[in-house]
Every structure is written in structure tokens, then in C-alpha cells.
Amino acid sequence: MHAGREDLAGLGVHVPPIDLSSTNPLPDIESGGLSYEAMASGGMPNAEGGAVYARLWNPTVARFESALARLENAEAAVAYSSGMAAMTAAVLATTKETGRRHVLAVRPLYGGTDHLLASGLLGTEVTYCAASDVAASVRPDTALVVLETPANPTLDLVDIRAVVEAARGVPVLVDNTFATPILQNPLDFGASMVLHSATKYLGGHGDVVAGVIACDQERAAALRRVRAVTGGLLHPLGAYLLHRGLATLPIRVRAQQANAQRVAAWLTTHPSVARVHYPGIAGDPHGLLGTQLRGTGAMISIDLLGGYEQAKHVTSAVSLFTHAVSLGGVDSLIQHPAALTHRPVAPEARPTAGLLRLSIGLEDPEDLMTDLDQALATRGRVPVTAGATHA
């Protein structure tokens, strides 16, 4: 509630101000130049020279960064214009600082991240592996290990501490978008960086696109250097909306989680559903629930017995759910990962054609279940076939 707002009383205001200036008056050449150099080098503006230019630093963005860093138990945070801009900066900064070009990626990952690493656009070589194979896959030239937990879209849980140990000193970046800082703090388990697509739960209302990375001060300086050169700074209006969203984040996450728990339990009994992907539904073999992950979250994926054709029908037949990509907002969304967010992923790693991903919002769960039931039943429920299981 109060993170990033510590100086408001001294300013005589109750709500954080929005600074939309693209440029700032310079007191003189020397102090302005020194401030410019400080920010372009990954530091902060100095008091004498001021903020100079908005591509380098903005006070509204800095407030959000300060708040997010506190939520993630980090020394600093660096915000970007999108989650993919943040991931790009993390790879560029790490490969530049280490002089290594190999990235190890633990699948499954968000499709955009998977595609970015596979594209070779950043001059890196990528190896994909399971979490259990990290130790065997780390190389002398490995610069970064990237993982996501809970993973998108199958909600797989990855033991962060185990991956950090297996990485043998290689920095580990954890995408914490699904869990949010309310349910998981990867830095507490040894991760070097924690990334959020802030577009999702941090904003929570579907009206801002942003990314942010929390880490230590040294890495933050390297990330700011990349941001200053590439121009990926988050717009101050977006930062204001995100900072405002953080104030209600605990309430939203817990309420959406309670709804998702009811919907997930109901889906395990539905005759058209072959499998429910949701933390704890099929057990917790690694013992991560209640230890690493403090809650089950509000994301659900389901495999339909009717495969792609039924998935296609359901996304068109829902009326309360919105058929759209993205997640984490106050309203519920449904989408088909294989055709959309994970379309660029290699076929062998792509989600199944019958899998749908649900982002559960704040609607009444009874209404959500009614909507799903009518969509699943409109063309006749697919009977449970021999050997089909509910997990």
C-alpha cells in the first residue's frame, strides 16, 4: 500500500504525481551532461543536473520500480515498455556482462520467450531442457538460465532452488508472472532476476502493457544501460497505472485464486474434460506448494476430450468469458495457446491442440461454471472414453 509513496507527505500530496515530460530544463551544460552520463551508464540522475530526457529515466516509472522491488524483496527493479522488452534486455545485459552467448531455457515457457530465444535475433545460442536436465545442460559458455513457474500454459511447478543449485553459479531468471509477488518470491530461493509481464496481474485491469525485472543493484545498472540505449523505458502513464494496481494486488490475487480453486475442482468432474492443469490437482510431487509457492493462483488449463474441434467450439460459445489472449485481469479470459500465444513454438514443445487456458477473474464462480458448462455442452458433451482420466 505504501511502497513507492514514502515522500508524498513531504510533497504535500496524497496520490503519486504523473510526470509526462519528455525533456527537462538543464541548469547548465556541465551538470546536465554529468546527469546524462550517469543515467546512460545505468545510474540515477544527479540532483544538480536533473532528469534531462525521458528515455533515460522518469520519476513516475521510478516510483513503480521502487514499489515492485520491495514486493519482490529485491534491491532494485527496472521497468520496460513490455514483458518481451524486459526479457530482451535481460538476455542482452547478461550476455554483455558475462561475455558468454549460450542461454539455457527450461520448457515449458511463454511462447513469446520461447520464440525470442529460438530466433537467434539476440546473437545467442539456446538449449531447451527439462528442469531435471539443467545440471547436464549447463556449459562453460552459458550466460543465463531462464525458467517460468508456474509455467505457461501447463502450470508446471519448477523447484527454483534446485535449478539454481544445478546451474552452478550461472544467473537464473524466473518469470513470476503467473504467481505474482503475492504468491512467490523467486529471489528468496536464489534466483538472480525475477521478471513479470506487468501487463497481467500487476496492472490487473487490461489497460497497460509493461514488463519489469527485480534484481540486485549491479544487475539493475546493466539492465538500465540496455534500456537507455534501446529506448525501452515504460511510459509514465503506464507506470502510474501499475503503481496504482499494486495497491489492490493482494486482494485481487487472493479473490481470483479462490474463484479458480472452485472452478478447477468442478472441471475435474466434467465429462468433457480429460485433464485439469492446476497446482495441487494432480498432487505436489516436489513439495513446492506452501513452501516455494504460497498459493495455487488463478490460472487453469484444461485438455478437452474433443480435442481441437471442441476447443474451437468452446472459445466461440462462451459468453461471460472473453475469448482473448493475455491474463491476470479482473475479468475472465479463455484462449487456445497452440493457435495463439504458443504458435511460434517448435511443434514438439507446443501445447496440445485440445488445451485451453483460462484466466479466472472476479466474477461469481457459479456464473463462470455455468458459462463453461453451456459452452462445453452446446454440441453435446463428449463422453468419457476408456482410459481417460481426470487429474
- What residues are annotated to the active site? 55, 110, 175, 200
* Contact call for residues 334 and 349 (beta carbons, < 8 A): no
Categorise residue 384: left if φ over 0, alpha if ψ from -120 to 50, beta otherwise. Answer: beta
Residue position matching grid coordinates 495455487: 296
Q: What DSSP designation does 102 have?
A: E
Grid coordinates 512467490 are at which residue? Answer: 184
The answer to whether 79 and 234 are in contact (CB under 8 A) is: yes
Q: Could you identify the residue written with the cell 544487475? A: 219
- DSSP β-ladder status, 299-304 and 273-277: antiparallel
Q: Which residues contact 164 (CB under 8 A, 6 or more apart)?
A: 172, 189, 190, 191
Q: How far is 31 from 47, CA to CA, in rounded Å?
A: 9
Grid coordinates of 78? 527496472
